Chain A
Amino acid sequence: MLKSTYFSMARLIFAAGMWLLTAIAFAQNQVSGTVKSAEGSPIPGTNIVVKGTTIGTTSGADGTYSITLRQNNATLVFSSIGFQSKEVSVGNNSTINVMLVEDVSNLQEVVVTGLASSIKRSNLANAVGTLSAKELMGTTQIQTVDNAFYGKLPGVNMNTNGGAPGGGVSIQLRGISSLVGASQPLYIIDGVYANNGVNRSGRASVTGAGAETQDDASNRISDLNPNDIETVEVLKGPSAAAIYGTRANAGVIIITTKRGSAGKTKVSFAQDYGFATPQRLFGVDNWTEAKINTFFAAARRPIELERFRAANGQTWDYEKYFYGNTAPLSNTRLGISGGNDKTKFFISGALTDEKGIVRRTGFKRYSLRANIDHKLTNDITLSVGSNYINTNSDRGFTGNQNNSGASIGYNIAYVPNYYNLFPDESGRYPDNPYFSENPIAVTDRGINNTNVNRFIQSFNLTANLYKSEKSLLKLVGQGGLDYTQGTTFVYLPEDLQFQRAQGNPGDVIWGKTENVNTNFQTALVYNWNIGKVNLTSQAGAVRLNFREDRLLNRSRGLAGGQTNLRQGTVQEIFDQRFQTITDVGAFVQQEANWDDKIIATAGVRWDKSTLIGDADKFWAFPKASLAINIANFDFVRSSSLSSVFSQIKPRVAYGQTAGVPAFGTTFTPLNSANIGGLLGSVVTTAAGNAAIEPERAGELEFGLDLGLFNNRIQLEATYYDKQTRSNIQNLQLSPAVGISTIPTNLAQLQNRGVELSLGGTIAQKEKFRWSSRVLWWKNDILLTKLGIPAYNSGAFGVTLGTFLYQEGFSPTTIVGTRPARDANDTPAAEGVRTGAYILGNNQPDFQMSWSNEINFFKNFDFNMLWHWKKGGDNINLTEFLWDGGGTSPDWDEDDNGDGVPNGRQRGLAPHNGADRWVQDATYLRLREAALYYTVPTTSLNKWSNNKISRVRVGFSCQNPLTFSKYRGYDPETSTFGLQAVASGVDIAPYPTQRRFFGHLVVEF
């Protein structure tokens, strides 16, 4: 360890010495020119490199460049994102003007794969998913970044907590890598390890829903303004993400924000107005006297009949009242970018103000960003990015609850529509005789607010330490901090029905959570050439710190209308938790590129973390990959194949990563328990394991990329086999020993899958351009080893459907009770050892999406994205609740005509199993669609006197159409937030929405 430090020092000193020697000059030859597009407009920022060397420059704002050559017979390579690269032999010319052709493929884009290096997509050995700003947000305005990934990346499975404003999305890349915790991908924003945690709000305690996972709080990546993003790269598995080591098991999402470019200062203003409506309402059944007599107990019938008759045919559709509203949406953005050769800047400000469809809910985001790049010298570049964000979400009261009635959907399930819950003229809310709370009062007067102030600062320093004609040694220092301060506020006033029934009416929880992530990384990158082989060597070190500090206080028995904690009778420290985590790592990587024909990479990352039992032990994560561009070999180029195939690239990659145990896994604590004024120490029920190891995954990925007809058609096919071992599982001890669980590293998981992408330009005429892409993916999970007794876990137990953890099954298998079909029909006969029947599986059979970009009459753009998820079952407990209350829309119908209503006769007779609630959640959805019109430049110039450079108007929508037989609000719903397993549990969620927008963009 010390040795490696001294080794790096030696390299640094050596490098510094070498730099001093570069004063020696060679014969020089100046070449200059202009780079233009086919339309004749200059292309700024084009990279111009002398082939086989590290000598290069970039074109200026007017497309001009100038480069000094030190050799004869040089070839210049011109490349710019969005254009096909071009090689030009210099010969004796001193002026070379170049025209670049627009590239319909994305093969020239640069993908960041190493920690300090990048690679052209055409040379990539992994199926790295990338999304440009256009793909991410170019069609419609989406509230949060993660929500904008839907259907755009193969190998991704997503679920939403529900439709509450402010996000809450779970992303699983290539299946499930961990059986515990959230297992969400690592987000890195401009090199900063971003906080994607969930702040506990305590809502689940106030409403009685249960544990923290039912708070329905959103994951904090939702703070980020999606419009600031230039590109998103998704490293889906260990083979691509190995260099990120212990935190990469669930994949890595690398976000790069927009930066300025040299040239005229551009000002861009955009305004969107829109509205949201629920995707679907569940529907409410009407009542008749006959139904009342069926549903209610004899003793209860008279009063119900009296209420029914008193209503005199009037009904109140509570579902429509709560969910059927139209929510106004507004987004305002201002961006200013520009700069000169030395300094470039991008400044943006954005205001998002989106209301929810439920009254008094909504999401507001204020974001300010300044990204500055400055060249200190020709060889030293400093880039900084500063982002301040304030988000304010009011998410209301939905989802699970117990006893309190403080969930709209749960509550109204029990209220027949002939009963009036609305306040009288004096504003008094009637008590709800059907449940313990009046949901109108909760919605009008309850508060569930989260306010986050966040500051993300990144820096990147690149210094060319040594430069020769054929080699370049760079130092890359990178780091930053992510500071998040969140305040949560959950409040139910003292005069609500349920509160009045409490010993201390009125309940408020104030929470403060502070997260500070800091990271620092330094690397030396040496680029050199041996003959036609370009080599990139890098070595570096990383140190990460994550600190969380949270304190939640609760006060009950509140003074009238008061929310200050001190205005309560019973004041309580509800939760306090400190958490400090440090990781360190070192890495080396070697890339070799033989003339863009064969590209090989190998590397190792070593990591330590204080989350691991032995905090001072290094874990090694090797990787290796190989890509062969067959089409670049002369035997293909010179053959007739070259007229068809522009790219033939078989590729293979292998890598390892890990997942760290959750904080506290190593501790066996004595918890505090206060009783009778004394402090007690009680033995934990969840023991720790001081020898816990990280969960490790190895993934082999191979694939074939084909480019046909000058890359007009591109096919990417990938197969992966991801094996995780040392998966953490809590060994459930005999419950008689008084400690419930001990974490073990015994489980092993297998995820195998296929990802296909077929894209192409269907038409490319001046007045009609149409490019289209089809993605298809599937993943199969298998628990290959459990190492502990098979068990059921997740959701609400076997009687309502839960999940099976048993070797040879997928942990997405839904099991539960159901009536036996005959004597031989037992769980054991299905191979299940936990006493429950197999009822379904949350894992989809496959998913598919189809995206289209159509440009017609030059100035019109039409985009649409379809998404089809085939298979995958949900546990629909919303229907369970509504059936229980007699309110499901078909409750009183009688499909089989036997006189027993549907609401009491679902599933197998005698209709008491969990099989009733497990339902296929297949869907076909139009994710996004948009039509834009760009005002022609000529008329614009005439009209605005050249002051306005671009005006674009359009309409767009998100999720406007869904075709599904699933009976809940949304087949994508998942109550248990970010949990890796136990997805697809639907329990009275905040309905998701379809969103419609009108857009205006003006650029100066």
Chain B
Amino acid sequence: MKKIHLYTPIFAGLLLMMSSCNFFSLDTPNDPNNPSLGSVSQNASRTQVQNLVTGLESRHRDYLFTVTMLYGTMGRELWYLNASDPRWQTDWLGMNGRQATANMFGYLNTYQQPYFAIRQALTVIDAVNNTNTFTTEEKNAVSGFAKTLMAYQYLIVAMGQYENGIRIDVKDIQNPGPFLPLAESLTQIKRILDEGNTELGGAGTGNFPLRLTSGFTGNGFGTIASLRQLNRAIAARLAVYRQDWQGGLDAVAASFYSATGSLEAGPAHTFGAPPDTFNPLFFVKNANVSTMMVVHPSVLRDTIAGDARVRAKFFRRTAPVSVTSDGTPLAGLYQDNRFALNTSEVKFFRNEELVLIAAEANAQLNRTTEAVAAINRIRTAAGIGNYAGATTKEALIDEILFQRRYSLWAEPWGHRWVDLRRYNRLNAANVDVSIDRGTIFRQLARPQAEINWDEYVKTR
């Protein structure tokens, strides 16, 4: 009988294990690391919507690095020299006959990041509309703000894709709408922007109901009224792209445009130390590295003597950064001087552009006096004296494009590339590819993943 005592604990242990703790039963786990997307689709709390809106601000800045570098490269405002991976040179510059293909190196971010922001904006709009914790005015404010940033992001994609057109209807992730032609795409972006304007108009007065970062509030964009002005500023940019000159002037008038105020005025993408993100455009001056955004030599070559913008924006290094790719050596002696710190903010829309839009629209409408006045506002600020050239429309447009080149250099938009294309001037006379022996790209290709998706839809 002694042995039985040994078995007793074994059996007891087994029985306990098998029956007591639901040995075979498992529960579906919750994510221990993150909240779920589903948690905000219905009855989101105020804090949840606040977090989504802050998330939108975060997504809104994610395009910054790649768009600045790639679109800036396309218009030869700059070179992004990177010895670690020659494709930043060979593929982006189109060296050795390379084309902007559907699989082009490193360009997908310029397409994807804006759409990440648009997805975030759609999520914000859904969340705020499906909860009772906000008043109608507050809902309008949040939705109008989201649509304003959405329109800005759509326009980034449209500028990259240009005549390929873009998808506007992207709400249903499994059933995105068709690619619309360029003109139709721009019209749809205008619609979204106008909806945002209307909603902001019905959002009451005073401050935006949720917290925004200092990129907005620190630059005077913390109120409903000022956000509406931002909406109109984007509308002004879009209007001149659509050659709607009067519309452009109307939008400028409703924006934060100031003929006499600081040209720097405008909202910014904010950056900071972790857990925030450092300013990706910041490079330590004179750093002895082989990765650097440098000013394109043609920009330096074409300057007007004494231009304050050149002194302010470009920093002459003691030694050039040089990289050789595909047997073609590139060297940059000037680097970006705009950012004092790796936490400096980056303006994404400035009064200076509004002044230039006013100049352009007025010139196009043959309102020469107004156009020249606006040009002179810019020239005075740059310390290069008043405009003394011809006042024909063509001459004024030449002048305005020249001023845009220096006023808006390397802003996170690729203005030079966009502007030259708008005026059909993307050619060797304006885009100097003699040093890099590259190719002038008119637009980027529709990404391979889009081609794949359309193929997939046919067969699913």
CA distance A680 to B55 in the complex (A): 4
Which residues of chain A come closer than 8 Å to B84, judged between CB atoms? 208, 401-403, 410
Which residues of chain A come closer than 8 Å to B325, judged between CB atoms? 884
Q: Which residue of A lies closest to B60 (CB)?
A: A675
Which residues of chain A come closer than 8 Å to B260, judged between CB atoms? none
Cβ–Cβ contact B28 & A614, under 8 A: yes
Which residues of chain B come closer than 8 Å to A569, judged between CB atoms? 273
Which residues of chain A come closer than 8 Å to B214, judged between CB atoms? 676-677
CA distance A827 to B103 in the complex (A): 13
Which residues of chain B come closer than 8 Å to A684, judged between CB atoms? 34, 37
Cβ–Cβ contact A8 & B18, under 8 A: yes
Cβ–Cβ contact A667 & B34, under 8 A: yes
Asked if B105 CB lies within 8 Å of chain A CBs, one says yes
Asked if A615 CB lies within 8 Å of chain B CBs, one says yes
Which residues of chain A come closer than 8 Å to B28, judged between CB atoms? 610, 613-616, 666
Cβ–Cβ contact B40 & A735, under 8 A: no
Which residues of chain A come closer than 8 Å to B50, judged between CB atoms? 678
Asked if B336 CB lies within 8 Å of chain A CBs, one says no
In the complex, what's the smallest C-beta–C-beta distance from A860 to chain B, in angstroms?
52
Q: Which of B26, B36, B123, B451 contacts A608 (CB 8 A)?
A: B26
**Binary interface encoding of chain A residues 722-747 relative to chain B, with 1 for a CB under 8 A from any of its CBs, else 0:** 00000000001111111110100000
CA distance A432 to B319 in the complex (A): 13
Which residues of chain B come closer than 8 Å to A797, judged between CB atoms? 87, 103, 105
In the complex, what's the smallest C-beta–C-beta distance from A43 to chain B, in angstroms?
31
In the complex, what's the smallest C-beta–C-beta distance from B69 to chain A, in angstroms?
13
In the complex, what's the smallest C-beta–C-beta distance from A773 to chain B, in angstroms?
44
Q: Which residue of A lies closest to B108 (CB)?
A: A735
Cβ–Cβ contact A910 & B97, under 8 A: yes
Q: Which residue of B lies closest to A294 (CB)?
A: B327
Asked if A621 CB lies within 8 Å of chain B CBs, one says no
Cβ–Cβ contact B58 & A673, under 8 A: yes
CA distance A436 to B85 in the complex (A): 13
Asked if A664 CB lies within 8 Å of chain B CBs, one says yes
In the complex, what's the smallest C-beta–C-beta distance from B287 to chain A, in angstroms?
3
CA distance A398 to B458 in the complex (A): 45
Which residues of chain B come closer than 8 Å to A945, judged between CB atoms? none
Which residues of chain B come closer than 8 Å to A566, judged between CB atoms? none
Asked if A331 CB lies within 8 Å of chain B CBs, one says no
Which residues of chain A come closer than 8 Å to B331, judged between CB atoms? 297, 299-300
Which residues of chain B come closer than 8 Å to A498, judged between CB atoms? 289
Given contacts A571-B274, A912-B97, contact A615 B29 (CB under 8 A): yes
**Top 7 closest A-B pairs, CB basis?**
A738-B119, A676-B213, A297-B329, A501-B287, A503-B342, A572-B274, A789-B452
Q: Which residue of B lies closest to A376 (CB)?
A: B6
A-B contact pairs, 13 of them (CB 8 A): A5-B24, A402-B84, A498-B289, A541-B24, A572-B273, A669-B34, A670-B36, A675-B57, A681-B52, A685-B116, A732-B452, A738-B122, A738-B170
Which residues of chain A come closer than 8 Å to B7, judged between CB atoms? 16, 463, 465
Cβ–Cβ contact B453 & A734, under 8 A: yes
Asked if B183 CB lies within 8 Å of chain A CBs, one says no
Q: Which of A380, A436, A615, A681 contacts B35 (CB 8 A)?
A: A681
Asked if B25 CB lies within 8 Å of chain A CBs, one says yes
Q: Which of A433, A580, A735 contacts B115 (CB 8 A)?
A: A735
Given contacts A208-B84, A578-B32, contact A300 B120 (CB under 8 A): no
Given contacts A297-B329, A405-B290, A669-B31, contact A12 B322 (CB under 8 A): no
**Binary interface encoding of chain A residues 340-364 relative to chain B, with 1 for a CB under 8 A from any of its CBs, else 0:** 0000000000000000000000000
Asked if A295 CB lies within 8 Å of chain B CBs, one says yes
Cβ–Cβ contact B450 & A676, under 8 A: no
In residues 124-182 of chain B, which contact A (Cβ within 8 Å)? 157, 166-167, 170, 172-174, 176
Asked if B33 CB lies within 8 Å of chain A CBs, one says yes
Which residues of chain A come closer than 8 Å to B85, judged between CB atoms? 402, 796
CA distance A53 to B343 in the complex (A): 81
Q: Which residue of B lies closest to A670 (CB)?
A: B35
In the complex, what's the smallest C-beta–C-beta distance from B86 to chain A, in angstroms?
6
In residues 28-60 of chain A, which contact B (Cβ within 8 Å)? none
Asked if B298 CB lies within 8 Å of chain A CBs, one says no
Asked if B315 CB lies within 8 Å of chain A CBs, one says no
Asked if A967 CB lies within 8 Å of chain B CBs, one says no
Cβ–Cβ contact A675 & B213, under 8 A: yes
In residues 166-217 of chain A, which contact B (Cβ within 8 Å)? 208
Given contacts A297-B324, A681-B51, A684-B37, contact A732 B24 (CB under 8 A): no
In the complex, what's the smallest C-beta–C-beta distance from B104 to chain A, in angstroms?
8
Number of A-B contacts (CB under 8 A): 334
Which residues of chain B come closer than 8 Å to A736, judged between CB atoms? 111, 115, 157, 166-167, 170, 176, 450
In the complex, what's the smallest C-beta–C-beta distance from A209 to chain B, in angstroms?
10
Cβ–Cβ contact A9 & B15, under 8 A: yes
User: Number of A residues contacting the other chain (C-beta, 8 Å)?
Assistant: 120
Cβ–Cβ contact B447 & A788, under 8 A: no
Which residues of chain B come closer than 8 Å to A609, judged between CB atoms? 26
Asked if B3 CB lies within 8 Å of chain A CBs, one says yes
Which residues of chain A come closer than 8 Å to B115, judged between CB atoms? 735-738
**Binary interface encoding of chain A residues 679-696 relative to chain B, with 1 for a CB under 8 A from any of its CBs, else 0:** 111111101000000000
Q: Which residue of B lies closest to A673 (CB)?
A: B58
In the complex, what's the smallest C-beta–C-beta distance from A343 to chain B, in angstroms?
17
Cβ–Cβ contact A735 & B327, under 8 A: no
Which residues of chain B come closer than 8 Å to A208, judged between CB atoms? 84
Asked if A139 CB lies within 8 Å of chain B CBs, one says no
Q: Which of B24, B51, B90 contacts A586 (CB 8 A)?
A: B24
In the complex, what's the smallest C-beta–C-beta distance from A523 to chain B, in angstroms?
11
Q: Which residues of B contact A (CB under 8 A)?
A: 3, 6-7, 10-11, 14-15, 17-19, 23-29, 31-40, 48, 50-59, 61, 82-87, 90-91, 95-98, 101-103, 105, 108, 111-112, 115-120, 122-123, 157, 166-167, 170, 172-174, 176, 211, 213-215, 270, 272-278, 282-284, 287-291, 319-320, 322, 324-327, 329-331, 341-343, 447-456
**Binary interface encoding of chain A residues 646-688 relative to chain B, with 1 for a CB under 8 A from any of its CBs, else 0:** 0000000000000000001011111111111111111111010
Asked if A435 CB lies within 8 Å of chain B CBs, one says yes
CA distance A910 to B284 in the complex (A): 37
Q: Which residue of A lies closest to B453 (CB)?
A: A734
Asked if A475 CB lies within 8 Å of chain B CBs, one says yes
Which residues of chain A come closer than 8 Å to B213, judged between CB atoms? 675-678
Cβ–Cβ contact A674 & B276, under 8 A: yes
Which residues of chain B come closer than 8 Å to A734, judged between CB atoms? 167, 170, 176, 449-450, 453-454
Q: Which residue of A lies closest to B30 (CB)?
A: A667
In the complex, what's the smallest C-beta–C-beta distance from A852 to chain B, in angstroms?
47
Cβ–Cβ contact A737 & B211, under 8 A: no
Cβ–Cβ contact A297 & B322, under 8 A: yes
**Which residue among B14, B37, B115 has the maximum number of chain A CB atoms within 10 Å of its CB?**
B37
Q: Which residue of A lies closest to B173 (CB)?
A: A737
Q: Which of B36, B95, B272 contacts A667 (CB 8 A)?
A: B36
**Which residue among A436, A613, A788 has the maximum number of chain B CB atoms within 10 Å of its CB?**
A436
Which residues of chain A come closer than 8 Å to B275, judged between CB atoms? 572-573, 672, 674
**Which residue among A297, A405, A610 has the maximum number of chain B CB atoms within 10 Å of its CB?**
A297
In the complex, what's the smallest C-beta–C-beta distance from B38 to chain A, in angstroms?
7
CA distance A790 to B456 in the complex (A): 8
- Beyond A503-B342, A573-B274, A610-B28, 19 additional contacts (C-beta under 8 Å) are A297-B322, A297-B324, A297-B330, A297-B331, A379-B3, A401-B84, A431-B288, A501-B283, A522-B17, A541-B24, A668-B37, A674-B276, A676-B272, A680-B51, A680-B54, A680-B58, A681-B40, A684-B34, A835-B448
Cβ–Cβ contact A675 & B270, under 8 A: yes
Asked if A639 CB lies within 8 Å of chain B CBs, one says no
Which residues of chain B come closer than 8 Å to A912, judged between CB atoms? 90, 95-98, 326
Which residues of chain A come closer than 8 Å to B55, judged between CB atoms? 670, 673, 680-683
Asked if A714 CB lies within 8 Å of chain B CBs, one says no
**Which residue among A299, A431, A669 has the maximum number of chain B CB atoms within 10 Å of its CB?**
A669
CA distance A608 to B23 in the complex (A): 11
Cβ–Cβ contact B18 & A541, under 8 A: yes
CA distance A671 to B276 in the complex (A): 14
Asked if A1 CB lies within 8 Å of chain B CBs, one says yes
